[in-house]
A and B are shown apart, each in its own frame.
Chain A
Amino acid sequence: MTRTKELLAFWLRLICFVLLLCVVLHYTIYVLTPKHDYGICPIVNFYQQPKESVDVLALGTSCAYAGVNTNVLWKEYGIAAYNLCGAEQPFWISYYYLEEALKTQRPKLILLDAKASIYENDYSKRGRTILSTYGIRSLPTRFKAIAASVKPDDFIDFALAFPQLHSYYPGVVAESFLYPPTNEGRGPHWKGYIEMDETEQHQKPSLVWTSTKKPLNTRQQEYFEKLLLLAQEHEIPVMLVGFPNPDYANDHMYYNSLWHVAAQHGVDGINYNDPKLRVRLRYSSDFSDWQHLNVKGSVTFSRRLGSDLCERYHLPNRHGDMAYQTWQHCTDDWYTKYPEYLPQTEE
């Protein structure tokens, strides 16, 4: 073999090696990332949904994934909803999730959780929140999401993933290697709703329903507005949702600001903490903690939410559509576990 041929063969082999190495490292990052249902699972699982099947896309924090019971929405209204939410998910991650989601889905409505408006930090407070971005398939979008989430000095560490992730190796188990993840035992049909089984007794929040505003964090506001513009660009209506929570007194003035900004973009929503709405939630039995609805509460709330959605938007009832079997499977699985919440007519 002449030297030129030898060198050419070497460079070709080197390119193949680098490509193979990238694939292996990419998979290793996936294996190492904790497969929390409040973390990477919703976005990884999202890619498993049939193309252009999600009609209602919920984006937001734990309040959203514990509140929007996709099974109730399907069972009682035939709404195909998916919760693309994460713990303490700020608007910047919701924005990049939406950017990624729109590559495969054409939702008819976006439910946007208002909770992120109360976050005052310029960057994501916890590393675990950022780890959920490792589920974003498109590397440019993933890097943009990371860049938005962390201080510039920390970007490289998070973008390369290993400096942040590799210490998770003691938590790697056989299931960590599975793709897609098991969604903490819920299987591949899961739609992002996370059950909170505990019950804590709380009282109705005590507050004066003023219109006073507390300024939003500038970065949260920036990405909130970007998200609204992106949705408008794709002609998808956005509905802001204030999820009921016993600690609402602390959130009220932020929500006022958020609604004000949303109104400037022609967006409205429902704040279910408003006592005038009479959602029929019991603060003594419908919450799992000071922020989240429990299973019972989520069923009550989602019945009301479904009714409001049907009233406000023309959402198709997908019952009987073979393309939506996965929602049916998910709901069947869920009601097998929680038969007490079946609609009374079926009981």
Chain B
Amino acid sequence: MGILSLDFLILMTALVAVHYCLPVRFRWIGLLTASMVFYAGAGWHAIAYLGAVTLITWLGGLYMGRCRDKEKLALAQEDKATAYHTKKQRSYFLAFVVLLVMGGMAVMKYGHLLYGMIQSTYLAMTEGHKTLADWSLVAPLGLSYFTFQSVGYVVDCARGKADPESNPLKYLLFVSFFPQISQGPIMTYRQLMPQLLLPARFEPTVFVSGFQLAIWGCFKKLVIADRLAPVTSAIAIGFDMPGWIILLGVALYAVRLYADFSGGMDVIRGAARMLGIDLAENFRRPFFSMSVAEYWRRWHISLGVWFRSYLFYPLTTSRFGLSLSRGGQRIFGKKIGRTLPGVVATFIIFFLIGIWHTANWNAVVYGVYFGVLLSAALLLEPLFKKIRNRLRINIKAWWWKGFCILRTWGLILLAQYFAFTAGPKQGLSLLGATFQNWTFADAGATLTGLLEPLEWYIVLVALLLVLAVDLMIEFGADVNGKLAGGSFLVRWPVLIGLIVTVLVFGCYGAGFDAVAFLYTQF
């Protein structure tokens, strides 16, 4: 069941009606039922896998809690040996659970690659006479999202940041809460569980703002992202196109990705808000970022926070991280030495983020590119600061901010060459083609060859609208809140206008190819 389907609309309507009729303490049952109905469409294998992950991490969480209690008791009784032994046991079991669940995700996501390798080896061995039986796996819906969320829960239980959930059904709701399961945001147990168990009471303004957010998300996804999909697909293989068209296509791909992912996220957050549940923000207008590091703090925020909490800090504060810092200080001096664990952790994280997106060489290039860029930025920051001071640059000046935003755009676009092509070779060829054939003689014909003039106008107007709203929010205006809390004489025309726009100009139904959310594929 897609979050932009009629089935989803019916499910949401039914759930909202039931949700607010149920006593608060029983509402989680309605949410769990709806989540199961939502996930049922993913197929029995996905349900089985989700069930297995839920069971493993639920038991893992319980065990972590028991170990912590045992440790506390031992420490209270000053039995250091038992405390030490239990801590060790806890760490080993935590590692086992994390490896098991993350390993499962890796097999599901990348198993087909391994299968391909084994198959080709077997074919070579049998000289092409025999093939292996097909055991390629289909990744369940929301695999990464529920895996990260449940692993985070077990780690939090081990760290004492979360109390283990004794009721497996309540825990199942935490892992599978719809519509969040399809593409995030990834939340911690502490953030989400209290809201699921005791959702906020019905507040008209909150309900309306949730509805508005969901419609806005539909607008971004259906009117912008899906309209741009055929353009970016055509440009990804358009080596003979003028350079400026390729550059435009790459920029449009970045915009499409943003409209697609943030649009989906708005629908999810809006739907949850209508149920009185506040999900974490996953995008904070990333294209206004003044540096690549800031961009990653604004883009897919919950993934970044997850990697920071469960990988960056453990890496930098581990025995390895500390010895790296000490060694670095001895060789490169105090300043560089201190940043060295951060640099290495950053590189590892971005490499992992790269291959998390897709299992291909492009993803490796994408990850390594950002890893190198951000690691270099960390290492060279003191130098940059010196240069800025020497040139007496006012970092608060508008021109400097503009320059930084443009610079960030440039660096981000460079990475997109490897995000929307099939392989690094194709990405590099396209990058090379960008600097050739900057002729504008047939500009109109080339553009209309990609999209009808009317469609370009629709994209342009829609993008300007999104830009205007994002700018208002960037400058501190609570657009959604103001509209939800304001006069209905303003709200109704805006909402009806938006709904009609989505229904008329959205890309769906007859005459359009349905485009799945890009991030559900990750």
**Residues of A bordering B, CB below 8 Å:** 6-7, 10, 13, 17, 20-21, 24-25, 28, 32, 127, 156-157, 160, 162-164, 166-167, 169-170
Contact = CB atoms under 8 A, between A and B. Distances in A.
Contacts of B508: 163, 166
A162 B509 contact: yes
Interface stretch (B63-71, B126-134, B318-326, B498-506): B498-506
14 contacts: A10-B204, A17-B495, A24-B500, A25-B500, A32-B504, A156-B6, A160-B6, A163-B508, A164-B510, A166-B503, A166-B504, A167-B511, A169-B505, A170-B454
Given A10-B204, A20-B492, A25-B499, 15 more contacts: A7-B204, A13-B488, A17-B488, A20-B496, A28-B500, A32-B504, A160-B6, A163-B509, A166-B504, A166-B505, A166-B506, A167-B511, A169-B504, A170-B452, A170-B454
Nearest to A158: B510
B223 to A, nearest CB: 11
B492 A17 contact: yes
A127 B510 CA distance: 10
Contacts of B504: 28, 32, 162, 166, 169
B300 to A, nearest CB: 31
Given A6-B204, A28-B503, A21 B496 contact: yes
B124 to A, nearest CB: 46
Interface string B180-211: 00000000000000000000001010000000
Interface string B211-247: 0000000000000000000000000000000000000
A20 B494 CA distance: 13
Contacts of A13: 488
B135 interface: no
A166 B509 contact: yes
A163 B452 CA distance: 20
B512 interface: yes
Contact of B503 (A6, A7, A162): A162
A18 to B, nearest CB: 11
B500 A167 contact: no
Interface in B56-94: none
A156 B5 CA distance: 12
Interface string B481-522: 000000010001001100110011110111110000000000
Interface in B405-439: none
3 closest Cβ pairs, A-B complex: A163-B509, A167-B511, A10-B204
A10 B208 CA distance: 10
A160 B454 CA distance: 25
A6 B204 CA distance: 8
A7 B202 contact: yes
B113 to A, nearest CB: 36
Interface residues of B, number: 20
B510 A157 contact: yes
Contact of A21 (B6, B452, B499, B511): B499
A160 B492 CA distance: 22
B454 A25 contact: no
Nearest to A11: B204
A293 to B, nearest CB: 33
A343 B112 CA distance: 81
Contacts of A167: 509-512
A216 B236 CA distance: 52
Interface in B29-79: none
Nearest to A31: B504
Contacts of A127: 510
Contacts of B510: 127, 157, 163-164, 167
Given A7-B202, A21-B499, A157 B509 contact: yes
B485 to A, nearest CB: 12
Nearest to A169: B504
Contacts of B512: 167
Contacts of A170: 452, 454
Contacts of A164: 509-510
Contacts of B202: 7
A203 B505 CA distance: 49
A107 B447 CA distance: 56
A54 B509 CA distance: 39
Contacts of B488: 13, 17
Contacts of B499: 21, 25
Q: Which of B452, B492, B505 has the most chain A CB atoms closer than 10 A to its own CB?
A: B492
Nearest to A163: B509
A287 to B, nearest CB: 34
B454 to A, nearest CB: 6
Contacts of A10: 204
A128 to B, nearest CB: 11
Contacts of B500: 24-25, 28
B416 to A, nearest CB: 29
Nearest to B500: A28
Nearest to A166: B504
Interface string B119-147: 00000000000000000000000000000
Q: Which of B204, B488, B503 has the most chain A CB atoms closer than 10 A to its own CB?
A: B503
Contacts of B503: 25, 28, 162, 166
A28 B499 CA distance: 11
A54 B69 CA distance: 88
Q: Which of B495, B496, B504, B512 has the most chain A CB atoms closer than 10 A to its own CB?
A: B504
A21 B493 CA distance: 10
B2 to A, nearest CB: 14
Nearest to B497: A24
A160 B508 CA distance: 13
Contacts of B511: 167
A17 B508 CA distance: 25
A156 B500 CA distance: 18
Given A13-B488, A166-B504, A24 B454 contact: no
A17 B506 CA distance: 22
Contacts of A156: 6
A156 B510 CA distance: 12
B338 to A, nearest CB: 56
Contacts of B454: 170
B245 to A, nearest CB: 23
Q: Which of A25, A160, A167 has the most chain B CB atoms closer than 10 A to its own CB?
A: A167
